[in-house]
Structure 1
Amino acid sequence: MAQPSGIHARRAALKMLDAVLRRGETLEQAAPGALRDVRKAPDQALAKAIVGEALRWLTDLDALIDSATKNPLPDDAKPRSVLRLMLAQSLRLETPPHAVIATGLPLLAGGPRRLAHGVFSTLMKREVTLPEAPTLPERFQERWDGMAHGLVQPPEVDLHLKDEGQTDQWQAKLGGESFASGHVRMPRGTPIEQVEGYDEGAWWVQDLAAQLPTRLLGDGAGKHALDLCAAPGGKTMALSASGWKVTALDISKRRLGVLKDNLKRTGLKASPLRADALTWEPKHQFDAILLDAPCTATGTCRRHPDVLHRIGPRQIAEMVEIQRALIEKAAGWLKSGGTLIYAVCSLEPEEGEEQADWINDTFGLTPAPIQGVELPASLEPTPEGWLRTHPGMLREKGGLDGFFVGRWTKSVR
């Protein structure tokens, strides 16, 4: 019997959902294996869209499923996972119910198809809807108050221009919006490799929030900067474009390869170096060090909704320990009068504000408060002079990732 069209994409979505919720993998880790049998790019994109919406709205989808079952299904039951995907397609991707049923029930071959069919049909007859914004998992509701509205839609595409002086031209060419010199935001949907300017290396993809740490270092004018944990290279390229002589250090061979490819495409110069920052020793000190530290990445939940369901106290504590070890190294490699930028794409205060307090109390570095005039798009620093962004900000303009950024200088001796 022939399988319905699109079944491979749904099966891949189910595999990715299972990898995230049962094994704690990221979607990035789960995708290659799950998509192995999905040959066409549009089908791969569909599988990612289905699982992305299921994870983004998981709490609300589960509430709907529970409202239509006499006995709650276990969290890891396959029928629950299939129903999550079916409802995500119907309620978020506007897939017709008959197509949802035709491609969803075969995922339960040998299992309780009748149960899944009955629950889905009941909910469709009720004409159920989702709330205006996703309900966050309980452990995040208090910590991330006010951010849920920023998660309603996957993010648009932010570009960092190589030449800030061409902002107006590229904004006009691409039909996008610009919130700062050197930035253009354009709607998602077009494959990046097909966007004008890609082949000539005129820009690279980088969320607006991720562009801010390098902006806070200004013009390099031939001075030496160290980009710690540099791959895939967005901040390295931004520093190079601003005149810095950049050492780009990363431990991952694969990710460093991406960085090198990006440098080649854009024609920007840097010195990529593969090493473990915790054991590496530089030959000289640096005028500036940018530590975009490994973190839980909860601030990227707009584009990576898996973090909503993978991250807890254990993962946060592990990242805090790694971050402090890297901060200690960076503080020792900074020249007198040099500048340290510490940044994380995390919403967790343990990885952001509490780390900044620890830096203030530990290394004798002088805080260099961030000023409002340094920030684009009406963003403002905190009273402490730090920068804190989250997905609920700039919502009317498409939002931005969650970031924490702090800045310090080393006393001149």
Structure 2
Amino acid sequence: MSEVSRARRAAFAILKTIEKSNGHSDDLLRSRQVEALSQPDRNLTTALVLGVLRWQIDLDQRIRPLLKHPNAKLDAEVLIALRLGAFQLLHMDRIPVHAAIDESVEISKTSGHRFASGMVNAVLRKVAAVRTKPKEESEQEDWQRAFPAWMAERWIANYGEEAAHAICRQGQSQPNITIRMVGGDVEAELAAQGVTLSPGQLLTSSHHVLAGDITETTAFREGRVRLQDEGSQLVAELAPHGGTILDCCAAPGGKTLILAERNSGASIVACESSPQRLAQLRERLSVLGDRVECRLADATSLEDDAAYDVALVDAPCSGTGTLGRNPEIRHRLRPEDLPRQAERQRAILRAALRAVRPGGHVIYSTCSLEPEENEQVVAAVLSEGTESSLVSLRSRVEELCSAGIFTSSGANSLLQCINRESILCLLPGTFESDGFFVAMIEKTG
């Protein structure tokens, strides 16, 4: 009898939680149970969870025809055991065939489905046979097969085949571990603790971690280094300076910290509608003391009229720009969800425009690639007679480059991503970052 490794047990538990609830892989992979694993086991757990989620659609399409009854409904535990085994066999060359098969069989037994273990064994042995065939007879790498057809088709329609292929490819890739350095140059300090870095593509304060565990360093524990995607940092950097600033949807707080960095004397209000997330936000922003007021508030019903110089709306969205980091989104999102999201996004943007004074600015951003949540939201709100207009982000990018915040190559590349409507559309694959949409709106009256 094969014993299931700690890494595979942890991966199975996480995948089961995601399958049966709205759990998020990013949060679950940072749980205490995973943190208690050895570094090699944590790495394998992460690779298994994210790999299965990224390739789940394709894995299911390969598994189903091998079943005696292809349309049969499988229990979640059995299906996850099959996906785990198939993923290892098809995508992890260093995993021995017997380990991938035997431990998946054992998972099906220990999860209460001993009767299905023979079927799991038979199906995975058929999958294993594919590995021995010449490449031209087996899998031809096709990134789009890992996404719902409706999703890939709309990216082709909206951005063209080449861009859609890049989006899909990045969605199947492990994102960089990206950090933001705060305060002085801590690169030498990190190097002494075994962390190797490379420069970011866009921001001078951003670096990618090539080797080492950044979370074990003194600088990370003290908050002088933070984990944050470069595109996420970019959104906050684009916000103009102001004496009073509103962060409408602030949790988890990374962008709020940048707003405080760049506006040292400003008064900042950070809103969050979830009590649990507000508590986490307060803890993270406690380093700023009384400079930031963390407020439990629904961003759609803000009552502070004309009170702020700047408002940041990093709106809740479908998250399709983050599919490499959050692969489960592709299995949950439906086309009909986008209009529902857009309705709330329009309400938040309207409230933010009410909250800024004439001459003030609103930065509206999402990590979505979908026009319904982006251009169409901005156009709809501006068409309502809000006495507001789009402001080109070109001058802001050039200003930040002159100030040494953007790298010159990054600024030049970003300028190519600003369209005729003055809006920035950062597609996955353009840079090694998540995808983001950013628009700047000035309140004119």
Q: What TM-score comes out, normalization by structure 1 length?
A: 0.86
Q: Is the 8 A contact 1:338 1:410 kept in 2?
A: yes
The equivalent position to 1:389 in structure 2, one of 412, 416, 426, is: 426
Distance of 1:180 and 1:134 partners within structure 2:
28
Aligned equivalent of 1:133: 143
User: Partner letter of residue 37 of structure 2?
Assistant: K
Compute the displacement of 1:319 (Å).
Answer: 1.5
Aligned residues: 402
Distance of 1:279 and 1:258 partners within structure 2:
22
Compute the displacement of 1:214 (Å).
Answer: 1.7
Distance of 2:298 and 2:18 partners within structure 1:
28
Farther off after superposition, 194-203 or 74-83: 74-83
CA RMSD of aligned residues (A): 3.1
Aligned equivalent of 1:57: 55
Farther off after superposition, 266-275 or 101-110: 266-275
- Aligned-partner SS, 1:278: helix
The equivalent position to 2:25 in structure 1, one of 27, 48, 70, is: 27
For structure 2, the 5+ residue unaligned runs are 132-137, 156-163, 401-405
Distance of 1:30 and 1:168 partners within structure 2:
29
- Aligned-partner SS, 1:393: coil
Distance of 1:11 and 1:152 partners within structure 2:
23
Q: Is the 8 A contact 2:250 2:272 kept in 1?
A: yes
CA shift digits 1:16-43 (9 cap, x unpaired): 334434545433576799x869953554
Counterpart mapping for 1:9-408 below 5 A: 9-21=7-19, 23-27=21-25, 40=37, 42=39, 43=41, 46-66=44-64, 68-69=66-67, 71-74=69-72, 76-78=74-76, 79-93=78-92, 94-109=94-109, 110-127=114-131, 128-129=138-139, 131=141, 133=143, 135=145, 136-144=147-155, 145-146=164-165, 147-163=167-183, 166=185, 174-187=196-209, 190-195=212-217, 197-220=219-242, 223-243=243-263, 244-264=266-286, 269-282=291-304, 285-362=307-384, 363-371=386-394, 373=398, 377=410, 378-379=413-414, 380-394=417-431, 399-408=432-441
- Aligned-partner SS, 1:226: strand
CA shift digits 1:91-145 (9 cap, x unpaired): 3343222211232102222232222212222222231556263522212111232
Distance of 1:291 and 1:19 partners within structure 2:
31
CA shift digits 1:268-302 (9 cap, x unpaired): 94222222333442386100000111112221111
Distance of 1:290 and 1:120 partners within structure 2:
50
Label 1:356 to 1:257 Cα distance change in 2 as closer, same or farther (>3 A).
same
Label 1:282 to 1:192 Cα distance change in 2 as closer, same or farther (>3 A).
farther
Distance of 2:117 and 2:140 partners within structure 1:
24
CA shift digits 1:280-327 (9 cap, x unpaired): 423861000001111122211111100011111233232112111111
Distance of 1:62 and 1:18 partners within structure 2:
16
CA shift digits 1:338-391 (9 cap, x unpaired): 000111111221111111211221222111011163576222212211111222
User: Partner letter of residue 141 of structure 2?
Assistant: P
Q: What TM-score comes out, normalization by structure 2 length?
A: 0.80
User: Partner letter of residue 370 of structure 1?
Assistant: L
User: Partner letter of residue 142 of structure 1?
Assistant: E
Distance of 2:102 and 2:172 partners within structure 1:
27
Distance of 2:43 and 2:443 partners within structure 1:
47
Label 1:38 to 1:407 Cα distance change in 2 as closer, same or farther (>3 A).
closer
Label 1:282 to 1:191 Cα distance change in 2 as closer, same or farther (>3 A).
farther
Distance of 2:418 and 2:67 partners within structure 1:
48
Distance of 2:274 and 2:316 partners within structure 1:
12
